[in-house]
């Protein structure tokens, strides 16, 4: 881990902030935190430094500590849209879904075109069984960014749960068109096809998912199950 050199004592907060950002971009998160700490020590009103340190802590899986930094960033800047969104994500990981939604709501209130916040809120609403609301959020993401493959995939997963298998397949088709190298897109399309009793087509999708990701255990299990159940090869 890097330490702050005494020779750097004449440097200002921005200097340490910039150094921390470089470490963060390089994936050297522990080093980044050292420099964000120094930046904040020199300027404890530096909201972006708290935000960035929180993001690094989230990358390290330190979600409770990340939330503290996002709290501070928001206290210093009540309109910090990204801080609300990222605090929501950290709360997601801690299973605090209702609190996460409040943060996404606030981010969207501040920026009604913030597609990430709609997407994240949609994912949480899906988890909470608020399926129709989740679809609306994913619709908004697609309206804002028609080339977002994950949004089509996410909407497809909700339509699966709602039993709208043909509509789900259309979403997976679009996701695959935009990103043909994501195994999850094929696997979930296979599930929808299996639900429609299109077993051979489902098997093709499961095999494609495993081809793209040989460590994709769910796809492997789906292949075995459908082969055993229906005598397919």
Alpha helices in the chain (DSSP H): 13-25, 29-42, 47-59, 63-76, 81-93, 97-110, 115-127, 131-144, 149-161, 165-178, 183-195, 199-212, 217-230
- Tokens representing residue 27 in the block: 């994936």
Provide mean pLDDT across the span 7-33.
90
Q: How far apart are CA 23 and CA 41, in angstroms?
A: 18
Provide mean pLDDT across the span 83-101.
99
Cβ of 211: how many Cβ atoms within 10 Å?
Answer: 12
Residue 11: the pLDDT is: 87
Among residues 43, 41, 22, the alpha carbon closest in space to that of 31 is found at 22
Provide mean pLDDT across the span 110-119.
98
Q: How far apart are CA 205 and CA 87, in angstroms?
A: 36
pLDDT at 3 > cutoff 50 = no
What pLDDT, in 10s, does the model give residues 169-219? 999 999 999 999 999 999 999 999 999 999 999 999 999 999 999 999 999
What pLDDT, in 10s, does the model give residues 61-86? 999 999 999 999 999 999 999 999 99
pLDDT at 133 > cutoff 70 = yes
Q: How far apart are CA 80 and CA 74, in angstroms?
A: 6
pLDDT at 10 > cutoff 70 = no
Share of the chain above pLDDT 90, in %: 95
Q: How far apart are CA 142 and CA 149, in angstroms?
A: 9
Share of the chain above pLDDT 70, in %: 96
**Could you tell me the pLDDT band of residue 138, with boundaries at 50, 70 and 90?**
very high
pLDDT at 6 > cutoff 50 = no
The full set of domain ranges for the chain reads 181-233
Residue 110: the pLDDT is: 99
Residue in the structure block whose two tokens are 């699966």: 160
Residue 116: the pLDDT is: 98
Residue 8: the pLDDT is: 54
Cα dihedral 209/215/221/223 (nearest 10): 40
Number of helices followed by number of strands (H, E) in the chain: 13, 0
DSSP sequence for 30-50: HHHHHHHHHHHHH-TT-HHHH
pLDDT at 2 > cutoff 80 = no
pTM score, two decimals? Answer: 0.92
**Could you tell me the pLDDT band of residue 1, with boundaries at 50, 70 and 90?**
very low
Q: How far apart are CA 56 and CA 13, in angstroms?
A: 18
Axis-axis angle for helices 97-110, 115-127 (nearest 10): 160
């Amino acid at each position: 881990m890097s330490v702050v050199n005494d020779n750097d004592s004449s440097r200002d907060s921005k200097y340490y902030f910039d150094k921390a950002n470089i470490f963060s971009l390089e994936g050297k998160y522990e080093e980044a935190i050292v420099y964000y700490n120094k930046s904040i020590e020199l300027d404890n009103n530096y909201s972006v430094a708290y935000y960035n340190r929180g993001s690094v802590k989230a990358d390290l899986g330190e979600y409770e500590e990340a939330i503290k930094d996002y709290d501070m960033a928001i206290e210093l800047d009540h309109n910090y849209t990204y801080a609300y969104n990222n605090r929501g994500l950290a709360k997601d990981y801690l299973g605090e879904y209702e609190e996460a939604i409040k943060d996404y709501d606030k981010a969207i209130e501040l920026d009604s075109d913030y597609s990430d916040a709609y997407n994240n809120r949609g994912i949480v609403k899906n988890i909470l069984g608020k399926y129709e609301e989740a679809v609306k959020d994913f619709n908004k993401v697609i309206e804002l960014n028609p080339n977002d493959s994950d949004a089509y995939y996410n909407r497809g997963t909700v339509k699966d749960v709602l039993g709208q298998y043909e509509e789900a397949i259309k979403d997976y088709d679009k996701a695959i068109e935009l990103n043909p190298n994501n195994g999850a897109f094929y696997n979930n399309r296979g599930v929808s096809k299996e639900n429609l009793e299109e077993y051979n087509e489902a098997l093709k999708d499961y095999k494609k998912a495993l081809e793209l990701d040989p460590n994709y255990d769910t796809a492997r299990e789906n292949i075995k199950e459908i082969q055993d159940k229906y005598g397919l090869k």
